Structures are given as structure tokens and as C-alpha cells.
Amino acid sequence: MAFFQWEDSYSVKIKEIDDQHKVLVGMIAKLHEALSQGKGKDMMGVIVNELVDYSINHFSLEEKYMQTYGYPNYTSHKKEHYDFINKIDVFRSDFQAGKIMLSLEVMNFLKDWLTKHIMGVDQQYSMFFREKGLK
Ligand code: FEO
């Protein structure tokens, strides 16, 4: 069984955002696969970079919609994004510098954070955005 895969229950019923969430799930799965197969630090570093960059872009998109439509929980949602980016950016730096290794613990953190975020605060904007016409 795959370490992490998309499930229909993750859907926020907005295609553009679901598609980005699928990419994020896929990146975490790819990183886990690289770890399991004992791939080198360089290859894992590429995936970590992609994950950080894609997360930043994804969060920017959600925050843009929140600002555009006056989403009431914008500030608290943005803080979750900010805290996550800070955390994985520190991880990226330490990993690239050889200070820490990628581990199953890190993988579980990424998987659990994304699942909880998508199923929690992301689900909360679904109805609000759809009422504004996003689909
Ligand atoms: Fe899909 Fe709030 O991140």
C-alpha cells in the first residue's frame, strides 16, 4: 500500500485546488519512495526543494482567493501556512547542509500535517468559495 495517496474525501470540490493538493500528496509520496529506495541526498534534495516551492505557490493561491472574496478566517489560515513553510524551510536548509537526515518521522510529519490541514481548515473554506463561484 502506498505511503500516501489521494482520497476523494480530501476534495474541497474546487478543481484547481484539488489538483494542487493532489500534486502535494504526490510529492510527499515521491519523497517517501526515494527514502525507502535509499536514493541519494541530491535526489531527495531536489524533491524537498520542489515540495517547498510548490507549497508556497499553493498557499499563495488560496490566500489570494481568501483576500479577493473577504474570507473571514484568512488570518488564522494564513498563519497555518506560514508556520508550515517556516518549518519545512528550516528542514530544507538543515537537510541541504547535512545537519539532519530525512527520516520516517519527517515523512509522517509531512503526511499528517497535510492531511489534517486539507481535512480541517481547507475544508472549511469549501462552501464559502463555491458560493463565490469557484468550482
Ligand atoms: Fe491547501 Fe490551506 O492549504
For residues 26-45, average pLDDT: 94
Is 125 touching ligand 1 by the criterion CB < 6 Å?
A: no
Helices (H), 4-132: 15-36, 41-69, 74-96, 104-117, 123-131
pTM of structure? 0.96
* Predicted local distance difference test score (pLDDT) of residue 56: 98
Q: How far is the CA of 117 from the centre of ligand 1 (A)?
A: 6
Is 122 touching ligand 1 by the criterion CB < 6 Å?
A: yes
Is pLDDT at 70 greater than 80 in this prediction? Answer: yes
* Predicted local distance difference test score (pLDDT) of residue 1: 75
pLDDT in tens, 81-134: 999 999 999 999 999 999 999 999 999 999 999 999 999 999 999 999 999 999
Ligand 1, atom nearest to 59 Cα = 3
Q: How far is the CA of 2 from the centre of ligand 1 (A)?
A: 22
For residues 33-48, average pLDDT: 93
Mean per-residue pLDDT of the chain: 96
For residue 25, give the C-alpha cell: 500528496
Question: Which residue puts its alpha carbon closest to atom 2 of ligand 1?
Answer: 122
Share of the chain above pLDDT 90, in %: 96
Number of neighbours of residue 55 by Cβ within 10 angstroms = 21
In the DSSP assignment, the letter for residue 10 is G
In the DSSP assignment, the letter for residue 99 is S
Q: How far is the CA of 68 from the centre of ligand 1 (A)?
A: 16
